[in-house]
A and B are shown apart, each in its own frame.
Chain A
Amino acid sequence: MAGFVARRLTSALLVVTLTSMFVFALFFLGPGNPAGPVCEAQGRCTPERLAAIERQMGLDQSVVTQYAAFVRGLVVDRTVVVGGEHTCAAPCLGISYGSRQEVTEELARRFPATLSVAVGGATIYLLVGVTTGSLAARWRGTTADRLLVGGSLLVSSVPYYLLALLAWIVLALQWGLFPGTGYTPLTEDPVAWASGLLLPWLVLGVAGSTQYARYTRGAMVETLGEDYITTARAKGLSPRRVVFGHGLRAAIAPVLTIFGLDMAALLAGTVFTEQIFGIDGVGSWALEAVRAPQDFPVLHATVLLGAVLVVVANLVVDLAYGLVDPRVRTS
């Protein structure tokens, strides 16, 4: 088991490193010059001044040297020049070109909001999706099943940002439900935290639940056709125990796998959600950073965070799979 985790952690580290290099390289090959805005902010920007600023920021050095500086900054403090000198404490992900703040610090400040949105939304869509999927499978072929399947298709055919926007406009603005939507740290006021995030959670949860309902239904329909389900019925177990005790236990494994693979989609959903509901999280920060002039250190940090989350989620899913399916543990 320890060996398995170690191997997975090694490959996870590799994935994150390669992602980071890729983003770094992409930025330096792409258009836009981070020295430009700094130069313009100080009045008329002559080519000579631009070159001087580039030199100060270290942009004239090779990509490899700059990347090495970045990596070194992860373990030792360094000084970064963006319009002026900034000390950047390790682990240093750079200084934001826009806010001139340490990226690490701001990331730490914004991350709890994003985590709150994502975890809450994912919990809802897993619970709702798995439950409706199981029920649809149990009632397969009935009107209830068709309604559940049809409803889920309908919801999932609406683009997510449209759904979120409509929810915001209609539920929050027009009907005045969900007042105080926004982020309050959990540690400050748990009630405000929950009530403020309720609408984003619901929107994210409902949108995500439709596909999980379909995955679960498919897995359950297959499982309910297995011989051991007939065995369970032949033992005299109640239909509820048969479906949820025996069926769901087996059907949940593939759904878990999809959950891990789907982590990226959850993060994308969170980005939109934060933007629409005005939550000051990592997602909205990343969206700002993409706008010209691009804020590369922020962009780099958020992409890295995304990679880490996806990798960690898959590791957790693999370990959870071992808990669910004993054959993985001991075969």
Chain B
Amino acid sequence: MTHDPAPPDPLLAVRDLRKLFPARPTARRSRFQGAVRAVDGISFDLRPGGTLGIVGESGSGKTTTGRLVARLEQPTSGSIRFAGTEIGALSRKEMRPLRRQIQMVFQDPYGSLNPRQTVGTALATPLRAHALVPAGGVGRRVREVLELVGLDPRHVDRYPADLSGGQRQRVAVARALAVEPRLVVADEPVSALDVSVQAQVVNLLQDLRRELGVAFLLISHDLAVVRHFCDDVAVMYLGRIVETADRDSLYTRPLHPYTQALMSAVPDVRRGTSGERLHRIRLPGEPPSPVSPPSGCRFRTRCWRAQEVCAQVDPPLLEITPTHRVACHFAGEFGAVPADREGAPGQPG
């Protein structure tokens, strides 16, 4: 397997990753009837210190992707290479030394913080577990990380219930960063926060990323938040990446019909006030079931451009520019050149 020659070795390299969940057995259909194809063959890279946003709606598989990378789930197949080590097939025990390096931040800090633990305890526990600092230095380090996330060090004695939503999310970020990870997987980290506070946390994550050189995998439904935080963006639909590009390219020139529809649907103050309401693309019907996705292109059942070929051939991710790839049969119209096979293995070139 040869690697992309241009960029330095990625911190995270995901290839043809799949996760199938057994479809829930029910009273009527007690037998195993198939699988929910939550993540169905995705590939992407994340360089050290980089930020990749994974955007999608419910059922797109974005959350599962994050959980697979953090190895909270076991992949069904495919490869996850983290800092040169294949972690996709590691057991719980083998994973333990790597846990410190991949941390996770969840949407609801109230749910992910133990209500009976003080902030100090919540931060000190991972430090002790990973024996990162000498026992005597734990207290100092806890105060350090609290300051790092913009909280008063006196908060160590507080309980999560005493904090505001924004403060709790800062604690969750502090806990993730206390152990000096190389990658933070953040699943909707600001979705539960008020807009005025959400901006504080987005900015905080930006600062921390610059200061500490931590790489971020940001999972979000919010295109606007992703635009403000990520260098690169991947758009997911029904378990697949349908388009991936650098931020500017994606937001100024979305190519995949689904990305276009998604962007046209985002309510926007600017457009609302100027009256220049973007032509909204309406998607007919409902997202298909991930148990039995459509043949060929998965988006074709709702796509206004769909032709016969879309039902027959699953479109590969094609390179439009070195940083922009689209999985669409009409990508050629945008000047696509066939993608190199290494970037998207498992898919017909």
Residues of A within 8 A of B (CB): 1, 3-4, 7, 322, 328-331
Contacts and interface: CB of A to CB of B under 8 A. Distances in A.
Contacts of B30: 3-4, 7
Contacts of B24: 331
B28 interface: yes
A193 B245 CA distance: 82
A331 B23 CA distance: 11
A3 B31 CA distance: 9
B23 to A, nearest CB: 11
Contacts of B27: 1, 4, 322, 328-329
A149 B24 CA distance: 40
A4 B26 CA distance: 9
A100 B26 CA distance: 50
A7 to B, nearest CB: 7
Interface in B20-72: 24, 26-28, 30-31
B285 to A, nearest CB: 21
A322 B28 CA distance: 11
B128 to A, nearest CB: 38
Nearest to A318: B27
Contact-residue size bin, chain B (C-beta under 8 Å from the other chain)? under 10
Contacts of A1: 27-28
18 contacts: A1-B27, A1-B28, A3-B30, A3-B31, A4-B27, A4-B28, A4-B30, A7-B30, A322-B27, A328-B26, A328-B27, A329-B26, A329-B27, A329-B28, A330-B26, A330-B28, A331-B24, A331-B26
A7 B26 CA distance: 13
A4 B30 CA distance: 7
Instruction: Give 8 nearest A-B pairs by CB, closest first.
Output: A3-B30, A4-B27, A331-B26, A1-B28, A4-B30, A328-B27, A1-B27, A322-B27
Nearest to B27: A4
Interface of B: 24, 26-28, 30-31
Nearest to A319: B27
A11 to B, nearest CB: 13
A8 to B, nearest CB: 10
A315 to B, nearest CB: 13
Interface centre among B24, B27, B30, B31 (most CB of A within 10 A): B27
Nearest to B30: A3
Contacts of B28: 1, 4, 329-330
Contacts of B31: 3
A65 B141 CA distance: 72
A7 B30 CA distance: 10
Contacts of A328: 26-27
Given A4-B28, A330-B28, 16 more contacts: A1-B27, A1-B28, A3-B30, A3-B31, A4-B27, A4-B30, A7-B30, A322-B27, A328-B26, A328-B27, A329-B26, A329-B27, A329-B28, A330-B26, A331-B24, A331-B26
B22 to A, nearest CB: 14
B59 to A, nearest CB: 16
A110 to B, nearest CB: 36
Contacts of A7: 30
B291 to A, nearest CB: 13
A60 to B, nearest CB: 47
Contacts of A3: 30-31
Contacts of A331: 24, 26
A322 B24 CA distance: 16
Nearest to B31: A3
A36 to B, nearest CB: 51
B174 to A, nearest CB: 34
Contacts of B26: 328-331
Nearest to A321: B27
A301 to B, nearest CB: 33
A4 B31 CA distance: 10
B310 to A, nearest CB: 31
Contacts of A322: 27
Nearest to B29: A3
Nearest to A7: B30
A329 B30 CA distance: 11
B221 to A, nearest CB: 22
A330 B31 CA distance: 14
A21 to B, nearest CB: 28
Nearest to B24: A331
A7 B28 CA distance: 12
A218 B26 CA distance: 28
Nearest to B26: A331
B31 to A, nearest CB: 8
Contacts of A330: 26, 28
Nearest to A327: B26
Interface centre among B24, B28, B30 (most CB of A within 10 A): B28
A329 B24 CA distance: 12
Contacts of A4: 27-28, 30
A212 B24 CA distance: 32
B336 to A, nearest CB: 42
Contacts of A329: 26-28
A320 to B, nearest CB: 13
A323 to B, nearest CB: 11
A238 to B, nearest CB: 34
A29 B26 CA distance: 43
A331 B31 CA distance: 14
Nearest to A329: B27
B30 to A, nearest CB: 5
A186 B31 CA distance: 45
A328 B31 CA distance: 15
B182 to A, nearest CB: 41
Nearest to A5: B27
A250 B28 CA distance: 22
A322 B30 CA distance: 14
B115 to A, nearest CB: 20
